[in-house]
Copies of this chain bind each other. A is one copy, B any other.
Amino acid sequence: MKQSIAENHLGFGDKMKVLILGGAGMIGQKLAHDIAANGLSGDTAHELILHDIITPPWNGKGSPTLLTGNISDPETSTALAASKPDLIYFLSAIVSGDAEANFAKGWDINMRSAWNLFEAIRAEHEASNGRYKPKVIFSSSLAVFSGPYPDTIPDDFFTAPQSSYGAQKAAVELLLADYVRKGFMDGFSMRLPTICVRPGKPNLAASSFYSSIIREPLNGQEAILPVPETLRHWFASPKSAVGFMTHAASISASQLGKHLSLNLPGVSCTVADQIEALHDIAGADVVKLIKREPNEAIQNIVMGWPERFAAKRALNLGFQADKDFKAIIQTYIDTELCHK
């Protein structure tokens, strides 16, 4: 089932060239540092390029190329494709709350930029008489779905997004699938679970509280819970997210069949389950730092999000989820708190 990177590599240089779009972001950074340290599928000969709207920071092994630019400028896509990366992680996006508040900006950055890149790849593919055919791993989202949902959502559940962010992700999935089907590039879309616990500060994502209610109390700070505790959702740790990304490098579109959008495995739990896990690990005083403040705007977005996926195709392809929500909290403590 597994395919080595070498087989995919088209030989436009001695080393595989890996481009991470959104390279300054949380997952982009962790992915880049992981690849720098461990290689991809055991292959440590690679050239790493990080691109983002701000200069990506670096404190890892080696000296990746750090690029700054606006991914929604067509010139950016043209230049990036002209550098002929073999593997492209498309992680750049504005988050759901931002895309909902800024309609045109959301469609520009979350959708038009991907289309521009795919067009630039197609131009390089055709200019090279088909020799250049990179793999694009697109970071999609559960926000492509809307309810009502079955208890466990099957791999072929239909997309009917109820946010601009979700519509943009679903539109890129369609574009990617058509460019891959036509042979201009390889790759597929991965619908990641909500990443939790995110390190750092709250962001504009409607899902931001899911990390806040664990992270802030563990750091001795209050956190706001804007939704009912009965709300159930689908999670993966940043560590699992990086694992999804590196594993994806070994998989080709042909292994997915005709449907190039993959629901990834995760942990299904309610907010009450999250709080119970935090209680088990950190005690009652930490849990007391969670304050209930219902927020209708956030509820309107996240209460339509899915609760549990079968993710059978992804499991069969070897993608691995966290064990449970306690393991997700422990990953945060091990990777973020112990460094302090």
A167 within 8 A of B: yes
Q: Contacting chain B: which of A5-13, A90-98, A154-162?
A: A154-162
From residue A143, how far is it (CB to closest CB) to chain B in Å? 12
Query: In the bound complex, do residue A174 and residue B181 qualify as a contact, i.e. CB atoms below 8 Å apart?
Result: no
Q: State A178–B182 Cα separation when bound (angstroms).
A: 27
Contact (Cβ within 8 A) A175 B164: no
A18 within 8 A of B: no
Complex Cα–Cα for A167 and B182 (A): 12
**How far apart are A183's CB and chain B's nearest CB, in angstroms?**
11
Interface size class of A (residues with CB under 8 A): 20 to 34
Out of B157, B160, B258, name the residue touching A177 (CB < 8 Å). B160
- For A170, give its contact among B164, B174, B182, B258 (CB under 8 Å): B174
Known: A156-B158, A258-B146, A259-B160. Is A177-B167 also a contact (CB below 8 A)? yes
- With A162-B258, A182-B103, A258-B160 known as contacts, the answer to whether A174 contacts B171 (CB < 8 A) is yes
1/0 per residue A165-180: CB within 8 Å of B?
0010011001101100
Pairwise interchain contact B158-A178, C-beta atoms closer than 8 A: no
Q: A146-B258, A171-B171, A258-B146 are in contact. Are A178 and B156 (CB under 8 A)?
A: no
Set of chain B residues within 8 Å of A170, measured between Cβ atoms = 174
A258–B149 Cα distance when bound, in Å, is: 13
CB distance from A62 to the nearest CB of B (A): 38
Are A177's CB and B164's CB within 8 A?
no
Q: If the complex has contacts A103-B182, A146-B258, A258-B146, are A174 and B157 also in contact, measured as CB distance less than 8 A?
A: no
| Residue in B122, B167, B178, B261 whose CB lies within 8 Å of A174 | B167
Nearest CB on B from A73, distance (A): 18
Residues in chain B near residue A167, CB distance under 8 A: 174-175, 177-178
Closest B residue by C-beta to A146: B258
CB-CB nearest in chain B for A158: B158
A residues 71-125 with Cβ under 8 Å of B?
Answer: 103, 122
Contact B174 A162 (CB under 8 A): no
A175 contacts across to B, CB distance below 8 A: 167, 171
Question: Residues of A at under 8 Å CB distance from B?
Answer: 103, 122, 146, 156-162, 164, 167, 170-171, 174-175, 177-178, 181-182, 258-259, 261
Given contacts A158-B158, A161-B174, A162-B258, 10 further A-B contacts (CB under 8 A): A146-B258, A158-B159, A158-B259, A159-B159, A162-B181, A164-B178, A167-B177, A171-B171, A171-B174, A174-B174
Q: Which 4 A-B pairs have the closest CB atoms?
A: A167-B178, A158-B158, A160-B259, A156-B158
10 intermolecular pairs with C-beta atoms under 8 Å apart: A103-B122, A146-B258, A158-B159, A159-B159, A160-B261, A161-B174, A164-B178, A167-B175, A167-B177, A167-B178
